[in-house]
Amino acid sequence: MQYRTLGRTGISVSTFALGTLRLGAWGNTDHDDAIRLVHTALDAGVNLVDTADQYSGGEAEEIVGKAIRGRRDEVVLATKGHFPVRMGDPDPNRRGNSRRWLTRAVDDSLRRLGTDRIDLYQVHRPDPATDIDETLSVLSDLVRAGKIMAIGTSDFPAEQLVEAQWVADRRNHVRFHTEQPPYSVFVRGIEADVLPTALKYGMGVLTWSPLNSGWLTGRFRRGERIEMTEFRRVVAHKFDLDLPGNRAKLDAVERLLALADEVGVPLTHLALAFAASHRAVSSVLLGPRTIAHLTDQLAAADLRLDDTVLDRIDAIVPPGVTLNPADVDYRRPALTDPAERRRPA
């Protein structure tokens, strides 16, 4: 396992990190097995473990807390807040990026994780209802209180990253140190703006979904039906073959499989190595459900793709292109709310 510095934090993180979305009710419900999975990652040299209060309704944080007990100092521990912890929670104040909610959310995460500090706390999505000055203010206070070591964002558009840097500078707040966007061969939109912005401001980048929800394992092939498991039904737009972008993935998978065969590696490893190859990327979050999945993915940790291979990937999916626009998880209100685009009568 190799290590990279996380932006300008001075913290060294493993090139591959462990994402815990699938630990608990959303995936692996066997806590003992999930703890073994975390230990397998740590024993392989992974030192960054990323979770969120929302994952499995807080259960993932509890599993991580059990797993790192006695090994806390080995781990760069990252979590996130913004969404309601319990799906369907009707209380509008138990979500978002306000001082009221984030103060509570951080304390709850610390309790579930069984620790006195979070190495990296990230706001899980932008919050149009809360001034970024308010969000940075409370996060700065939590840093100064020693509850958080560094702060970051997830799925923030480039212009909001820039705004946050300027607000932090002018208001004497702690700056966001990191951004966590989705990034893969099939989801490359951030190459146009988010990744250059992160480089400009010295932000670390933790990317997620490097296998694009399984598309880049070669599991889904042309002419075959995609079984809609419970998990896939939650994100059905990622697998709906009526969408042109998903049909384009089927064609791209065939070409990528042929390229992987020429290189002599599994498609999974080719995809993971691609995600780690961008100069802005600090660490790639793996999201395994089982130890077998994790072991296979970790085998790609030392794979480096040369320029010839990267050029051929660019020829299959051009830089800056996201094949299925529905894969973009955060869409700006200006695109989703008609009232944001229309002059009042």
CA angle 51, 196, 334 (to 5 degrees): 75
Active site residue 55: yes
Which candidate, 291, 298, 293, places its Cα nearest to that of 34? 291
CA angle 75, 79, 84 (to 5 degrees): 155
Which candidate, 185, 337, 215, 211, places its Cα nearest to that of 285? 211
Instruction: Kindly provide the residue ranges of all beta strands, DSSP E only, lying in 127-200, ordered along the sequence.
Output: 148-154, 178-180
Contact 37, 288 (CB under 8 A): yes
Q: Choose, from 55, 121, 183, 201, the residue flagged as catalytic.
A: 55
Instruction: Name the maximum alpha-carbon separation found in the chain.
Output: 63
Q: How far apart are CA 101 and CA 81, in angstroms?
A: 9
Please name the residues in contact with 311: beta carbons below 8 A apart, sequence gap of 6 or more: none
Q: Any idea what DSSP says for residue 48?
A: E
Q: Which residues are catalytic?
A: 55
